[in-house]
């Protein structure tokens, strides 16, 4: 029986990791996440060596990241150059790499427990914070679905995630590990016959995650119109449909009260026109009905009307010696008179989505980017604030950039709001709600409202407490109108950034060693 259990344990750990992923959106089954983490902690405690503990952490991570990132496989269904089945291989290969980080946390926690008799739970929680930060930063970083996301409440309340303004996301992930440890403690307490104490211990994580925090609200002053055109990924790059797509987004953007200051927000990928002059004529003929960027900008200005300013996703080309050599994924600010008022270039680019790493080696093998086009995108300089005068100070984070905790706002020139245009049409059913949840976490951390305009959903207006005030569901065309929610004063996280995460990690590691010293003094 014991041998059979040992043979099945790797599958049990992978399954536990997959159960933990159900705590993320769109399922939100956070009790399963806590239970699965408690099981992992038991396996680390019972491991015969730190290496065995690392294997347990790796197997758990394999299940966690395979199910949590399943939306990546959908992207391959929109790529003619590569077969769709390759998507699931890509998901598993990515999970094999990402699982290294929980494995490292498990290894070091077990080593500290053996070498210094440190308390395993706070050590593991502190090390999870550190390794999750490393996952988000090393090799360009992949910050998707930090464990903290299971602590985020429904659209109308932030839940325990409200404390991210004082902890940051990665430290909140460590706190989630501690909550799982409380459930494990409750289990041991119940087995010892202390049922009342066990019930109280088990109830504490539930009470914290369901924290009834509804935000501070407040009235804004700047009017917005946020547009979701519902342009599917299977049609977004078809030139024969460009004009119809433009007419659709134009109808959704027309002013209802002309003349007053208003920002109009269009998504990433929703505008096929090149807005800048100076490119080879072929590029204009291939994309815009007007074949002229001046005419394209002028007709957009007529659509948004006097008093309005458009912030739209667009593409800028890099021209060298008369040849187009690369591109930038940008947000362009366009006035009602058709003039460009400013722009922001995306800094965090998606590997294999916006550029092909090691192109000289991989392109001959038939590999390509997952979105159309052969030009690689070049990164911009990082967070910037576009001062639009009466239209406010806009921070911009394009699509995937919004997932990077501590990297979304210019701390020297704090914006009034963050605009997050995105094309989530190739992210499947799980990607868009996970993306929205991470945008909500950035709003809480920074104390800034976030306005998301996407091609196919979920577009939303999020206040500075992470509460979704309005949204357009997936696969629906629509517009949102209102006043941009007010920003809060800079939060502790907005001032200190991820130094807070390391402070929490050191606190937890210190607590684990204090326990070790007390044990040694007995």
> Long-range pairs for 502-506 at CB < 8 Å and ≥24 separation?
502/129, 502/130, 502/133, 503/171, 504/126, 504/129, 504/167, 504/168, 504/171, 504/174, 504/175, 505/126, 505/127, 505/129, 505/130, 505/171, 505/174, 506/126
Q: d(Cα 39, Cα 307) in Å, to the nearest integer?
A: 58
DSSP per residue, 482-507:
EEPPPPPSPPHHHHHTTHHHHHHHHH
Q: d(Cα 458, Cα 468) in Å, to the nearest integer?
A: 11
Q: d(Cα 441, Cα 462) in Å, to the nearest integer?
A: 10
357: left (phi over 0), alpha (psi -120 to 50) or beta: beta
Whether the CB-CB separation of 129 and 505 falls below 8 Å is answered with yes
Beta bridge partners of 420: 452
Dig out the tokens for 415 from the structure.
Answer: 């914006």
> How far, in Å, are 34, 81, 211 from residue 161 at the CA level?
15, 41, 9
> How far, in Å, are 71, 149, 256, 459 from residue 428 at the CA level?
5, 19, 34, 15
User: Which positions are annotated as active-site residues?
Assistant: 268, 346, 399
């Amino acid at each position: 029986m014991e041998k059979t259990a040992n043979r099945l344990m790797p599958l049990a750990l992978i399954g536990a990791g997959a159960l933990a992923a159900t705590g993320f959106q769109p399922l939100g089954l956070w009790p399963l996440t806590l239970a699965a983490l408690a099981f992992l902690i038991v396996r680390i405690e019972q491991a015969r060596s730190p290496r065995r503990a690392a294997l347990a952490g790796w197997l758990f991570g394999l299940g966690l990241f395979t199910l949590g990132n399943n939306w990546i496989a959908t992207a391959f269904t929109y790529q003619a150059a590569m077969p769709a089945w390759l998507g699931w291989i890509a998901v598993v290969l990515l999970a094999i790499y990402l699982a290294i980080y929980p494995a490292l946390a498990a290894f070091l926690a077990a080593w500290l427990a053996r070498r210094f008799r440190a308390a395993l739970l706070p050590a593991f929680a502190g090390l999870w914070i550190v390794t999750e930060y490393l996952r988000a930063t090393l090799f360009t970083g992949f910050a998707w679905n930090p464990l903290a996301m299971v602590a985020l409440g429904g659209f109308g309340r932030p839940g325990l995630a409200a404390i991210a303004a004082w902890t940051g996301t990665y430290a909140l992930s460590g706190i989630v590990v501690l909550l799982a440890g409380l459930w494990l403690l409750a289990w041991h307490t119940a087995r010892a016959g202390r049922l009342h104490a066990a019930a109280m211990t088990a109830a504490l994580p539930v009470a914290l995650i369901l924290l009834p925090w509804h935000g501070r609200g407040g009235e804004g002053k700047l009017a917005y119109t946020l547009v979701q055109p519902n342009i599917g990924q299977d049609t977004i790059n078809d030139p024969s449909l460009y004009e119809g797509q433009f007419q659709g987004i134009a109808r959704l953007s027309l002013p209802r009260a002309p003349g007053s200051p208003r920002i109009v927000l269009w998504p990433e990928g929703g505008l096929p026109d090149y807005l800048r002059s100076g490119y080879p004529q072929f590029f204009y003929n291939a994309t815009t009905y007007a074949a002229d960027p001046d005419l394209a900008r002028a007709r957009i200005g007529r659509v948004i009307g006097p008093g309005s300013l458009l912030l739209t996703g667009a593409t800028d080309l890099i021209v060298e010696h008369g040849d187009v050599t690369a591109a930038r994924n940008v947000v362009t600010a366009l006035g009602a008179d058709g003039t460009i008022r400013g722009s922001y270039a995306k800094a965090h680019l998606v590997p294999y989505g916006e550029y092909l790493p090691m192109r000289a080696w991989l392109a001959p093998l038939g590999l390509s980017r997952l979105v159309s086009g052969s030009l690689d995108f070049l990164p911009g300089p990082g967070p910037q604030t576009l001062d639009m005068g009466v239209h406010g100070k806009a921070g911009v984070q394009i699509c995937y950039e919004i997932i990077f905790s501590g990297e979304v706002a210019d701390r020297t020139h704090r914006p009034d709001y963050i605009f997050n245009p995105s094309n989530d049409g190739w992210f499947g059913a799980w990607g868009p709600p996970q993306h929205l949840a991470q945008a909500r976490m950035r709003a809480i951390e920074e104390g800034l409202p976030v306005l998301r305009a996407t091609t196919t959903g979920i577009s939303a207006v999020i206040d500075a407490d992470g509460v979704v005030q309005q949204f357009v569901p997936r696969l629906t065309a629509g517009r949102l109108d209102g006043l941009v929610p007010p920003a809060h004063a800079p939060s502790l996280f907005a001032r200190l950034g991820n130094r807070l995460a390391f402070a929490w990690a050191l606190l937890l590691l210190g607590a684990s060693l204090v326990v070790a010293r007390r044990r040694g003094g007995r």
